[in-house]
């Protein structure tokens, strides 16, 4: 019997595993980098062991340090979570060799399937030879052989893009997984990403647990997942299950895993097998009434599964909430998460709590929100409603994108595919700000600053405040009267520092207002309070390229120097942040008149990197 589990991971998945361990009466051990010293997973574990440093390569990817931490803390088992070392057979062997229980598949199974190239050959498939790719093969996908999460992947549509794609994918894969091997495969433009959750024991039983659809993806990383996959008929489901069980038996698989496919033209194309727990496992748990982490632990203890899995019921959908700006290249965001609260009736898996800091070193996912209902339509409505009314105060997030995606006609009709955001991103990120949010913010601020509630014997001169909302500046005016605060075109029913009620054309609207420095949240709208008079020194020259996020400069375009001619859209500078590379491109054709970036330099948001002057 396992009595103490060290989770070789961080954030949301560590907290989720700890939750099950507590329910089972198992002691928990966390490992943490210096950047995670105050992280939620560090705080909630029974014991925590420091991994000196901040970068993944020296902390969560150091299997030797993690094994030492397990032994020092008295843990008798290790759970790898997902990402980092979860699919590293060398780490699994080191855990077993240290006399600890490995809560995962045998190292031999990981070795066989962790490399996507080996997995394809095991299933009778073979990747393309990068040196032999021709125009007829395009488009192709360059893909990391190890790991997952969309890292180390590039779509190539022109042959001259292939060398840079290979180089960039190798660098990103090496940084994220410690393995820079990549391969090339055909890219199917309009396929659906469908997968099968499996759970296998040491007694020969393999459960295929329904299907999941994960087609809504950005940068090849899943955003919305659901179970069961809609529109997948009984015959195709049987084929997917059979292929998944075949893959598991081929490597004597034990524990939880996922077999992934691309479904196109009614056919299943094998992609890979993830020899770990998936990020989206909660939707399968909801539909089958299972705790997959508890199942992993029981299997690791040698218990046998029942001959047949539980029967599925209803439909579940999960949305990944990211600190990122979808309208500006999915740029990750950092800062303080002042508040994170979702309504009752949905599941929230997160590694953050109010007041935590979202840093630059790791993935930008804040939480997973999961809804389960008798039907798909009800699950969509429940999840979209919960996200829409959630209080998420802090950096920009993808919350609005998620709500609009769930309500998009292609999604509600189950006609989505992996190209969904390529087609619809512009419309899904079109600003739709609340025109009364700036006024509510101004009235709440006026109340918070007034000692006597704003009452005046005679009407005052109009007061003005400026706010930035959805990239545009808004100026609002109000005044103090004998009846209190007033504004043209509306009736101020109530106003205090945290709550404003306005009546517009006979309809009352309520606004909850929270302010953190110059950042103001009015219901679900995020505003920035602007100074009364703009600072002339803050204006940048036309053509200035600034860092959209904190990160590290990892590459400058070959031969790029001041005075060089650059083309519109040409990649100039590459930043690495939150384990992803981000390209800074020339905004127009012109001359590079200034270059302030160099490889290895740490940059902050808004820092000037280069200037491109147009004729």
Beta bridge partners of 501: 494, 510
CB 514 within 8 A of CB 338: yes
CB 511 within 8 A of CB 493: no
CB 356 within 8 A of CB 39: yes
Q: CA 613 to CA 594: how far, in whole Å? A: 9
CB atoms near residue 190 (< 10 Å): 15
Omega before 380 within 30 of 0, i.e. cis: no
| 65 belongs to the catalytic site | no
Residues 6+ apart with CB under 8 A from 191: 262, 263, 264, 269, 417, 418
Q: CA 186 to CA 446: how far, in whole Å? A: 59
Q: CA 83 to CA 61: how far, in whole Å? A: 10
Helices (H), 203-322: 234-250, 281-288, 292-300
Q: CA 367 to CA 28: how far, in whole Å? A: 21
Q: CA 538 to CA 553: how far, in whole Å? A: 23
Residues 6+ apart with CB under 8 A from 203: 304, 305
Q: Hey, what are 576's tokens?
A: 């690495």
Task: Say how many residues make up the chain.
Answer: 615
CB 97 within 8 A of CB 103: no
Q: Hey, what are 332's tokens?
A: 């990750």
Residues 6+ apart with CB under 8 A from 412: 377, 380, 406
Helices (H), 178-308: 234-250, 281-288, 292-300
Residue linked to tokens 């890219």: 187
Q: Hey, what are 320's tokens?
A: 């990944």
Q: CA 29 to CA 46: how far, in whole Å? A: 6
What is the per-residue DSSP string for 39-55? -HHHHHSSEEEEESSSS
Q: CA 555 to CA 575: how far, in whole Å? A: 7
Q: Hey, what are 435's tokens?
A: 């025109």
Catalytic residue among 212, 218, 276, 515: 276
CB 469 within 8 A of CB 438: yes
What is the per-residue DSSP string for 523-560? TTEEEEEEPSS--GGGPPPTTEEE-SSSEEEEEE-TT-
Gap between the terminal Cα atoms of the chain: 73
Would strands 27-33 and 4-7 be described as parallel, antiparallel, or unpaired? parallel
Outline where DSSP puts E strands in 34-90.
47-51, 77-79
- CB-based burial, 595-606: b 16+ in 10 Å, e otherwise: bbbeeebebeee
Residues 6+ apart with CB under 8 A from 347: 282, 286, 368, 369, 370, 371, 372
Q: Which residues are part of the catalytic machinery?
A: 276
């Amino acid at each position: 019997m396992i009595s103490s589990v060290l989770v070789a991971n961080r954030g949301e998945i560590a907290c989720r595993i700890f939750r099950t361990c507590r329910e089972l009466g198992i002691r928990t051990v966390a490992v943490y980098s210096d950047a995670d010293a105050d992280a939620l997973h560090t705080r909630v574990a029974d014991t925590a062991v420091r991994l000196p440093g901040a970068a993944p390569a020296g902390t969560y990817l150091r299997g030797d340090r993690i094994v030492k931490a397990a032994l020092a803390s008295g843990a008798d088992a290790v759970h790898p979570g997902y990402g980092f070392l979860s699919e590293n057979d060398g780490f699994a062997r080191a855990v077993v060799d240290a006399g600890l229980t490995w809560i995962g598949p045998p190292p031999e199974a990981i070795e066989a399937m962790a490399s996507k190239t080996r997995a394809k050959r095991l299933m009778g498939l073979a990747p393309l030879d990068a040196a032999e790719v021709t125009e007829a093969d395009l488009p192709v996908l360059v893909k990391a052989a190890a790991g997952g999460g969309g890292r180390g992947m590039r779509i190539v549509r022109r042959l001259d893009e292939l060398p840079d794609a290979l180089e960039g994918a190798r660098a990103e894969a090496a940084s994220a997984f410690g393995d820079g091997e990549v391969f090339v495969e055909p890219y199917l433009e309009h396929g659906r990403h469908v997968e099968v959750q499996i759970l296998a024991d040491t007694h020969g039983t393999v459960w295929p647990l329904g299907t999941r659809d994960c087609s809504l993806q950005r940068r090849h990383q899943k955003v919305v997942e659901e179970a069961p996959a809609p529109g997948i008929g009984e015959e195709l489901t049987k084929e997917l299950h059979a292929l998944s069980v075949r893959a598991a038996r081929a490597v004597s698989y034990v524990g939880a895993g996922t077999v992934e496919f691309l479904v196109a033209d009614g056919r299943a194309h094998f992609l890979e097998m993830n020899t770990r727990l998936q990020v989206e496992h909660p939707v399968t748990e909801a539909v089958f009434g299972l705790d997959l982490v508890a199942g992993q632990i029981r299997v690791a203890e040698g218990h046998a599964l029942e001959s047949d899995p539980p029967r599925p019921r209803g439909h579940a959908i999960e949305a990944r909430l990211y600190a990122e700006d979808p309208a500006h290249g999915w740029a990750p965001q950092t800062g303080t998460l002042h508040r994170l609260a979702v309504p009752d009736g949905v599941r929230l898996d997160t590694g953050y709590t109010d007041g935590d800091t979202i840093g630059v070193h790791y993935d930008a996912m804040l939480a997973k929100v999961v809804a389960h209902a008798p039907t798909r339509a009800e699950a969509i409505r429940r999840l979209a409603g919960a996200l829409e009314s959630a209080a998420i105060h802090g950096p920009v997030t993808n919350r609005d994108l998620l709500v609009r995606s769930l309500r998009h006609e292609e999604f509600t009709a189950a006609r989505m595919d992996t190209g969904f955001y390529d087609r619809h991103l512009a419309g899904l990120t079109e600003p739709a700000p609340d025109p009364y949010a700036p006024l509510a913010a101004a009235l709440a601020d006026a109340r918070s600053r007034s000692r006597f509630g704003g009452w005046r014997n005679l009407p005052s001169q109009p007061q003005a405040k400026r706010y930035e909302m959805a990239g545009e500046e808004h100026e609002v005016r109000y005044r103090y009267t004998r009846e209190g605060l007033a504004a043209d075109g509306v009736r101020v029913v109530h106003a205090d520092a945290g709550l404003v009620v306005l009546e517009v054309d006979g309809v009352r609207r309520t606004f909850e207002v929270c302010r953190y420095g110059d950042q103001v949240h009015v219901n679900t709208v995020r505003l920035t309070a602007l100074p009364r008079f703009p600072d002339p020194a803050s204006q940048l020259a036309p053509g200035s390229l600034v860092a959209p996020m904190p990160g590290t400069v990892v590459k400058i375009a070959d031969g790029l120097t001041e005075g060089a001619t650059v083309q519109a859209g040409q990649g100039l500078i590459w930043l690495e942040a939150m384990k992803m590379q981000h390209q800074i491109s020339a905004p127009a054709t012109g001359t590079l008149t200034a270059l302030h970036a160099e490889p290895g330099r740490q940059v902050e948001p808004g820092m000037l990197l280069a200037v491109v002057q147009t004729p």
